[in-house]
Amino acid sequence: MAGGAACIGLAPRAASASAGSLIMTTYGGSWETFWRQTIAPRFVQRTGAHVTLDVGFGRTFSANLRAAGPGRSDYSILMMNENFVEPLIRGRYFEPLDLSLLSNYKDLYPAAQSHNGYSLIGMISPIGIGYRTDLVKKPPTSWRDLWTNPEFRGRIGLYNLQNSVGKATVMLAGRLYGKGPTDMDGAFAALRRLGPILQTDFNMSTMMGTGEIIVAPYDFGEIARLRNQGLPVACVAPKEGMMMWDQSFTICAGAPSRQLAYRYLNFLLDPEIQLLLARRFFVSPVNRKVVLPPDLHDAVPITGSQIGRILPADWAWTDRNAVELDARWSDAFE
């Protein structure tokens, strides 16, 4: 490892002076390790740029952007979930994407393409229903099974509203039992009918490992990792469609390394890098040119036309109603 959570000087000084420098953001743990060992060195190899790796997540980066002010950030490109992106777009913290600088953009699946003009999705973790194969007699096939299968009662895990999937779950409940994804009354009436649930902001797997919960919204990649560790689990794509964790990329307004930021984004969308990411994190590639090898078919089952089965989320709506969503969630599950 190049060492630590700090700068990684991966280019000779003379080269980095001419090629510029870029701050890459990523998440902690295995993500940081992969970025440090694979992504950053490959990007440096291609561009000769000097790279600094910064570990955090949407909330950290949002706070820094807001403190610096629009157009004054040290970051040029950010990776975060789209629910963090929406309010920052309104605050003019990002520039509209210049798609002419992204040669790989034309190969993206529609679900990954920019729908707001400011962000695109570089990685998709589809969320289906994960369950313990040794503790569930009747495997789920529909999200409605969470409500109707009596063996799930009291043993359901849900992501709370700190997590974008928690917000997507509200929209899902609105779709299933209300007038639509933004029907808050219908959604929370339905969620209340789930009965007692165990909620978490990130770590579902410990509860699944101990058997405290036997079913939960789960991303296919995490289920594959748990299975590799010997836990009897499976994940299904419900017939109504899936939710997802997205890794959205934005270019900061007034980016100090704008050209390099676009090169980095295009690099991440490259089929070769998309395959590396799929192999390491079991995320679904967003580039249609990626051909998954047979050994990844089980771990990354949602590809190609299946990507279109991911339900869209209205993050502008969740952002506008954040306070009410929080209050109603607490009320539903207190």
Partner 1 sequence: MSRRRVLSIVCAAIYAFLLAPIVVVIIASFNSGAFLTFPPQGLSLRWYSTFLHNEVFIQAFMTSIRIAAVATGVSGVIGSMAALFTARAQPAVANSVRMAMIAPMLLPEVLTAIGLLFYFYALGIGLHHSVALIAGHILLTLPFVYINVSTALRGFDWSWEQAARSLGASPLTAFRRVTLPIIRPGLINGCLFAFIVSFDAFSTSFLLKDIGVATLPLQLFDYLRLNFTPEAAAVSSFTVFATVLVMLLAERLSGSQRRRP
- Tell me whether residue 80 is exposed, middle or buried, using C-beta atoms within 10 angstroms of its C-beta: 0 to 12, 13 to 18, 19 or more: buried
Quick one: which of 202, 232, 297, 298 contacts partner 1 (CB under 8 A)? 202
Quick one: which of 18, 29, 100, 137 contacts partner 1 (CB under 8 A)? 29
Restricting to residues 263-282, which ones interact with partner 1 according to CB under 8 A? none
Contact window for partner 1 (CB under 8 A) among 58-66, 95-103, 249-257, 299-307: 58-66
Structure tokens given for 35: 């970025």
Does 52 participate in binding partner 1 (rule CB under 8 A)?
yes
157, 161, 167, 168: CA torsion to nearest 10: -30
Contacts with partner 1 by CB under 8 A: the residue count is 39
Does 133 participate in binding partner 1 (rule CB under 8 A)?
no
Complex with partner 1: residue 33 or 45, whichever CB lies closer: 33
Complex with partner 1: residue 75 or 105, whichever CB lies closer: 75
- Tell me whether residue 243 is exposed, middle or buried, using C-beta atoms within 10 angstroms of its C-beta: 0 to 12, 13 to 18, 19 or more: buried
Distance CA 293, CA 275 (A): 9
Q: Could you tell me if residue 180 is left (phi over 0), alpha (psi between -120 and 50 degrees) or otherwise beta?
A: left
Contact window for partner 1 (CB under 8 A) among 47-55, 98-106, 111-119, 290-298: 47-55
> Over the range 264-290, which residues count as b (16 or more CB within 10 Å of their CB) and which as e?
bbebbbbeebbbbbbebbbbbbbbbeb
Quick one: which of 14, 67, 291, 323 contacts partner 1 (CB under 8 A)? 67
Contact window for partner 1 (CB under 8 A) among 3-11, 136-144, 235-243, 263-271: 3-11
Quick one: which of 17, 45, 46, 69 contacts partner 1 (CB under 8 A)? 69
Distance CA 22, CA 263 (A): 10
Helix/strand/coil percentages in the chain, nearest 5: 45, 20, 35
Of 217, 227, 58, whose CA–CA distance to 125 is shortest?
217
Quick one: which of 148, 229, 259, 330 contacts partner 1 (CB under 8 A)? 229
Quick one: which of 54, 82, 183, 270 contacts partner 1 (CB under 8 A)? 54
Quick one: which of 74, 151, 240, 314 contacts partner 1 (CB under 8 A)? 74
Distance CA 212, CA 205 (A): 10
Distance CA 242, CA 26 (A): 25
Helices (H) and strands (E) in the chain, counts: 14, 10
Does 36 participate in binding partner 1 (rule CB under 8 A)?
yes
Quick one: which of 23, 44, 136, 156 contacts partner 1 (CB under 8 A)? 23
Does 113 participate in binding partner 1 (rule CB under 8 A)?
no
Distances (CA, A) of 303 to 226, 230, 237, 286: 20, 25, 12, 8
Complex with partner 1: residue 207 or 311, whichever CB lies closer: 207
Quick one: which of 38, 48, 57, 107 contacts partner 1 (CB under 8 A)? 57
Complex with partner 1: residue 54 or 183, whichever CB lies closer: 54
Question: Residue with structure tokens 């913290």?
Answer: 93
Contact window for partner 1 (CB under 8 A) among 31-39, 151-159, 169-177, 248-256: 31-39
Quick one: which of 12, 28, 139, 312 contacts partner 1 (CB under 8 A)? 28
Does 206 participate in binding partner 1 (rule CB under 8 A)?
yes
The binding site for partner 1 (CB under 8 A) comprises 1, 3-7, 23, 27-33, 36, 52-57, 60, 63-64, 67-69, 72, 74-75, 202-203, 205-206, 209-210, 229-231
